[in-house]
Chains A and B, each alone.
Chain A
Amino acid sequence: MNKTLRSLLLCASLVALPFAAVQAAEGPTLRLATEGAYPPFNYYTADGQLAGFDIEIGKALCERMQAKCSLVAQDWDGIIPALLARKYDVIIASMFITEERRQKVAFSDPYQKSAMTFVVPKDSELQDFSPAAMAGKTIGAQGATTQADYLMARFPDSDVRLYPTQDAVNLDLVSGRLDAQVGDMIPMLDWTRKSTDGSCCRLAGEPISDPKYVGEGVGMALRKEDEQLRLALNQALASIIADGTYKAINDKFFSVNLLTLEQ
């Protein structure tokens, strides 16, 4: 009993060793983080790889800056705390630039503009999306997003449901648990037009471009003290926009120009 137990414990500790990841200072590798649950900006393919618009822009920027880059996925509601805890250096996950977030992190120049929109089932009778008309209705959004802040601030009389991922919101809208959801316009366009489950639903109402929630657009988040990195990223971004690399990646995914939202 003693010998077997001892050897079992030894094996257990050895198994754990490869996973122990307490690393000291890093070399020149730039560590990017994304969510991985927000198609077509960042998502997992069937063979477990991260892909999407954000990932391609990130790779293009790294190439332009001639830096070695690594990519990790992080759950949305821990993505900023983990950046502040120095788990990685840049967040490139379609994050809206807002005043509230600026209090914690710094942002690069916007690399995408967007607005928020309501999405409803195709057969929905909802026409009016003002807070008064939506009182008592069930509205969903992903938690820790500007959409969630918008809903909680402006729609106190509605039944607001927050989900850990955008996919979960979509699942519940499809199954009919939600009367509507509020999402980021470009991914919602993509979802309703291109995916099989999204064909149940359509965008509705006026696009919401309240600057408090939509801000100047979508940017990359960095720690406030990494000013050099921020300038380098901005330079690289301007460069890939100027020489058409950005447009190539844009057109690969969307028919809309993401910098100006023109068709």
Chain B
Amino acid sequence: MDWLTYLSFGDAGWGDELLQGLGVTLALALATLPVGLLLGLLVAALALFGARPARALALAFSTTLRGLPELLTLFIIYHGVGMGLNALLRWYNPAAGYLELSPFIAGVLALGLVFAAYSSEVWRGAWQALDGGQREAGQAMGLRRLTIFRVIELPQLLRLALPGLGNLWINLLKDTALVSVIALSDLMRMANIAVGTTKKPFLFFLVVCLAYWGVCLLCECLLGRMERRANRGYRSGGAAA
């Protein structure tokens, strides 16, 4: 059973490195989530309620980022933003030191932008499904725009958008595997390093697949629970699932 040795913890085995990699994977996904959700909400708001140029911008953002492979977006941001930041810094202060763009931040930026583009579509669909009459009632009561959003629209938005956002979260978890290509020590990269030394690719990549599968199944379970809780008190329309 020498595959057990390969996966063990401690100096001889790679189990602890793989677990560390899994931690980085989850941290990356969790850090990207708020960025993607908030930016997506903003873009959706611009697309629905903004002036013409804002709507065009929102549409361009959403179309471009959904039309590019995530791997490409990751490379462009990793190489491009790093160069751009330093050029900006040196233009401002030629004697300045160095600004480091860690692969983690590059990953959060790239995946966050992609997540925002997809989630803006989900938010948009959910927003359009809201009952306009409730918004008008809020206006009639003299509530401010932000209050109407916070008290009336947002709770309903969350319920309607949850299935779509849940799918996007699962996709985000899987997309984090791509950052292994830009040297972030996530689960995929640790597996590659382990394979380089042990020459047992099937074992390690199978373990990686099972780990991702396990996390995704867990998330699907949790999301199902969240959806049921969000839909408590609502009668289900249409045929029973």
* A interface residues (Cβ-Cβ under 8 A, vs B): 1-2, 5, 9, 11-13, 15-16, 19-26, 36-37, 43-48, 73-75, 78, 81-82, 84-87, 164-165, 167, 171, 174, 196-197
Contacts and interface: CB of A to CB of B under 8 A. Distances in A.
A33 to B, nearest CB: 10
A73 B155 CA distance: 46
A44 B17 CA distance: 11
A20 B104 contact: yes
A212 to B, nearest CB: 27
B31 A19 contact: yes
B201 interface: yes
A43 B197 contact: yes
A85 B82 contact: yes
B34 A167 contact: no
B27 A22 contact: no
Contacts of B27: 15-16, 19
Given A44-B193, A85-B82, A165-B196, A74 B183 contact: yes
Interface in B65-109: 78-79, 82-83, 86, 96-102, 104-105, 108
A12 B79 contact: no
Contacts of A16: 27, 30-31, 108
B182 A75 contact: yes
A222 to B, nearest CB: 14
Contacts of B104: 19-21
Interface of B: 11-14, 17, 24, 27-28, 30-31, 33-34, 37, 78-79, 82-83, 86, 96-102, 104-105, 108, 155, 158-159, 181-183, 192-193, 195-197, 199, 201, 229-230
A156 B169 CA distance: 45
Contacts of A45: 197
Contacts of A19: 24, 27-28, 31, 102, 104-105
Contact of B102 (A9, A21, A44, A84): A21
Contact of B197 (A5, A9, A12, A44): A44
Given A46-B14, A85-B86, A171-B199, A15 B31 contact: yes
A11 B31 CA distance: 9
Contacts of B197: 43-46
